[in-house]
Amino acid sequence: MAKKKSPARKATSAKKPALKGVAYRPTPDVIAQANLKSWETVARKANRDLEGFWEAEARELEWYKPWKKVLDSSKAPFYKWFTGSRVNIVHNAVDRHLNTHRKNKLALIWESEDGKEERSYSYYKLNREVSRMASIIKSMGVHKGDRVTIYMGRIPEAVFAMLACAKIGAVHSVVFGGFSVDALQGRIEDSESKLLITCDGSYQNGKRIELKQIADAALERCPSVQNVLVVQRTGHEVSMQPERDHWYHELLETPVAQERFPTEAMDAEDPLFILYTSGSTGRPKAIVHTHGGYMVGTYTTLKYVFDIKEEDRYWCAADPGWITGHSYIVYGPLLNGATSFLYEGGPAFPNPGRWWQLIERYGITILYTAPTAIRGLMRFGDDWPNQYDLSSLRLLGSVGEPINPEAWRWYFNVVGKKRCPIMDTWWQTETGMFMITPTPVVPLKPGSGAKPFFGQVAEILDEAGKPVKDGEEGYLVLTRPWPAMLRGIYGDPDRYVKQYWSTYPGKYMTGDSARRDKDGYYWIIGRVDDVIKVSGHRLGTAEVESALITHPAVAESAAIGLPHELKGQGIHCFVVLRQDAVASDALAEELRQHVAQHMGAIARPEDVRFTDKLPKTRSGKIMRRVLKARAQGLPEGDLSTLED
């Protein structure tokens, strides 16, 4: 581990320089309110004593049995945290609060997309809901360590389902409700889930999504699933397979549903969940997170970065199906005893004032969302947010992709009224928690996530593994372990080592490129692999290509990501047709639909172009970088490895 002078240390120990490009300096007001007054003091301490920093944080939570060791690096990169301890994240996210003043505090508030339904749950009530679901899924023969796939819309039961699994020690695998048959099927199959928890349907932008129907199609090829628990949301008729499918609301009326149910004591390193994410090659891989370290990491980062206070109404507008939802809708806020708001719908339905209306209605104090949503709302103009009272807001957050300065300014000026600092948090499914981020007392530069979180060191390296000069672009790597780090790829330890720890041995390869400026601020440029970020959602070129190949007209295809004004990146496909197929606009449209139908609407390509040949290396690898350059009219770079 890097003990020598690290770039991050240099940055923190520097005398306060005249920072270039700062658009926001914490006002005395903000500093006076902040739980943490001096970023430098904590950063310096954590840099000196990483384990000491995390140990102190861990002590703020409850453990059934204390740890013997904070960090075990003996089998690095298979790091272990808080070894020897017994704990359950649900004990800290729910049970623990019942013996405190928070017992009757609201844990979760939810509003339906049509605005006609509002539900709220105190910690006391949440515990009863989670217990009821936990007892039901346990009665279905789900044991500690078994995987459960959750495929639902944004409703409170999705949160209960995650917590219920964790409570009994089952491993949840949430699949985003916007994914379709192939994506769901692949994830159920790989995880060998015993149980699927789903809904009859969900609502998104005024449309009904037939989740149960999609699940049925996926389950045709998933023999591991013994039971399907169906939550009623739309009330629309769905087919129920006898023996296999069970209505949740019916089981709630039976004696198996218990309002008091024990929380299982887990080893800190026992898996809490797996979450599939796209990598550079092949099928999505399941990232493994644990009860102990992930708990400490999400608790601590949310506490410091969003400065959580008792009276906050915190809204993370992501979907529980992505890591942002796991860490910062569900676990992080509940671990902090906060009130988390969950909204069923999207930002601009039925009109672009919907989110602003919700902020006013619920007195939201912290809003955390993605640049794509900001850009989408910005285009409707200032009148929409200006119609509502947004004065409850005190902090804003951004995640998922680089935020362009124009969107940053609009968010800051129009939404935050120049009062609310924006926490631009850089992190990943793999990191589990914020890794590069400011806190409210850090001066902000639009488009930069400021500096690595306490105790962390981020380096920017060239191909040979040497640090690049400040201001130059390079590969972003992390050099110190952190408690919420992924523990591996489910069922594939070799791929874990190869993918993350082999490019620069001993250093965690993020897959992003970045630069650091003279003030030590980090600027993320984007992915350097075949991952495409569409509206902040992470998709792989390989997944799009596998969907295309299932169409009878397609012989071969390549998908690439190109800049998109609203989405950040859009998917563009190049297709070589089979001999008997004829290129036409109608076929191109059919192929776009085909991808959407197989993967989900978020993966619908912007366009499909037909070509006779794809640029390949002599070993047959598609050179997507050449396609990308060509499509943008940029220089094609080194073509010496091109096939012909």
3-state secondary structure of 401: coil
Q: Which stretch binds ligand PRX (CB under 6 A): 142-150, 161-169, 506-514, 553-561?
A: 506-514
Least distance from ligand PRX to the Cβ atom of residue 449, Å: 5
CB atoms within 10 A of CB 597: 16
DSSP letters of 188-210?
HHHHT-SEEEEES-EEETTEEE-
Cα separation, 550 vs 553, in Å, equals 9
Contact (CB, 8 A) for 373 and 317? yes
Least distance from ligand PRX to the Cβ atom of residue 322, Å: 6
Q: Which of 186, 320, 402, 432 binds ligand PRX (CB under 6 A)?
A: 402
Least distance from ligand PRX to the Cβ atom of residue 477, Å: 12
Cα separation, 537 vs 552, in Å, equals 28
Contact (CB, 8 A) for 293 and 285? no
Q: Is the dihedral of CA 170, 171, 173, 174 positive or negative?
A: positive
Contact (CB, 8 A) for 536 and 370? yes
Q: Which of 102, 527, 572, 594 binds ligand PRX (CB under 6 A)?
A: 527
Measured in whole angstroms, the distance separating CA 249 from the mean position of its chain's CA atoms is 29
Least distance from ligand PRX to the Cβ atom of residue 401, Å: 5
Q: Which stretch binds ligand PRX (CB under 6 A): 192-200, 340-348, 385-393, 426-434?
A: 426-434
Of 186 and 568, CB closest to ligand PRX: 568
Of 298 and 339, CB closest to ligand PRX: 298
Q: By CB under 6 A, tell whether 401 contacts ligand PRX.
A: yes
Least distance from ligand PRX to the Cβ atom of residue 303, Å: 18
Least distance from ligand PRX to the Cβ atom of residue 283, Å: 16
- Of 447, 443, 382, 434, the closest CA to residue 408 belongs to 447
Judged by CB under 6 A, the chain residues 440 through 469 that form the site for ligand PRX are 449
CB atoms within 10 A of CB 370: 24
Of 136 and 330, CB closest to ligand PRX: 330
Q: Which stretch binds ligand PRX (CB under 6 A): 29-37, 160-168, 421-429, 544-552?
A: 421-429
- Of 321, 306, 294, 534, the closest CA to residue 424 belongs to 306
Of 224 and 513, CB closest to ligand PRX: 513
Contact (CB, 8 A) for 367 and 317? yes
Residue 492, judged by CB atoms within 10 A of its CB (0-12, 13-18, 19+), counts as middle
Of 511 and 605, CB closest to ligand PRX: 511
3-state secondary structure of 311: coil
Q: Which of 57, 270, 424, 459 binds ligand PRX (CB under 6 A)?
A: 424
Q: Which of 6, 135, 277, 569 binds ligand PRX (CB under 6 A)?
A: 277
Of 53 and 176, CB closest to ligand PRX: 176
Q: Which of 186, 320, 337, 400 binds ligand PRX (CB under 6 A)?
A: 400
Write the secondary structure of 425-444 as one string of H (helix), E (strand) and C (coil): CECCCCCCCCCECCCCCCCE
User: Any idea of the CA torsion for 356, 304, 330, 359, to the nearest 10 degrees?
Assistant: -10
Q: Which of 12, 324, 372, 569 binds ligand PRX (CB under 6 A)?
A: 324
Contact (CB, 8 A) for 455 and 31? no
Of 55 and 529, CB closest to ligand PRX: 529
Q: Which of 53, 176, 368, 427 binds ligand PRX (CB under 6 A)?
A: 427
Q: Which of 429, 479, 499, 569 binds ligand PRX (CB under 6 A)?
A: 429
Q: By CB under 6 A, tell whether 183 contacts ligand PRX.
A: no
Of 218 and 539, CB closest to ligand PRX: 539
CB atoms within 10 A of CB 363: 15
Q: Which stretch binds ligand PRX (CB under 6 A): 55-63, 209-217, 477-485, 520-528?
A: 520-528
Looking from the CA of 397 toward its CB, the CA atoms found within 13 Å total 32
Q: By CB under 6 A, tell whether 538 contacts ligand PRX.
A: yes
Of 84 and 526, CB closest to ligand PRX: 526
Of 168 and 532, CB closest to ligand PRX: 532
Site string for ligand PRX, 50-79 (x = CB under 6 A): ------------------------------
Contact (CB, 8 A) for 455 and 350? no
Cα separation, 621 vs 70, in Å, equals 44
DSSP class of 372? H
Q: How many residues bind ligand PRX (CB under 6 A)?
A: 23
Measured in whole angstroms, the distance separating CA 193 from the mean position of its chain's CA atoms is 21
- Of 15, 16, 12, 8, the closest CA to residue 470 belongs to 8
Q: By CB under 6 A, tell whether 216 contacts ligand PRX.
A: no
Q: Which stretch binds ligand PRX (CB under 6 A): 187-195, 253-261, 419-427, 617-625?
A: 419-427
Q: By CB under 6 A, tell whether 319 contacts ligand PRX.
A: no
Q: Which of 191, 339, 428, 479 binds ligand PRX (CB under 6 A)?
A: 428
Least distance from ligand PRX to the Cβ atom of residue 278, Å: 8
Q: Which of 95, 267, 459, 512 binds ligand PRX (CB under 6 A)?
A: 512
Contact (CB, 8 A) for 400 and 428? no
Segment (H or E) for 548: helix 541-549
Task: Name the token pair of 506.
Answer: 């001993």
Q: By CB under 6 A, tell whether 543 contacts ligand PRX.
A: no
Of 233 and 326, CB closest to ligand PRX: 326
Of 94 and 544, CB closest to ligand PRX: 544
Contact (CB, 8 A) for 35 and 304? yes
- How many helices and strands, by DSSP H and E, does the chain display? 21, 30
Place of tokens 């301890």: 85
The set of residues, in sequence order, having a beta carbon less than 8 Å from that of 148 and lying 6+ positions away, is 137, 142, 161, 165, 170, 171, 172, 173, 193, 194, 195, 196, 197
Q: By CB under 6 A, tell whether 323 contacts ligand PRX.
A: yes
Q: Which of 88, 425, 557, 569 binds ligand PRX (CB under 6 A)?
A: 425
Site of interaction with ligand PRX (CB under 6 A): 277, 323-324, 398-402, 424-429, 449, 510-512, 524, 526-527, 533, 538
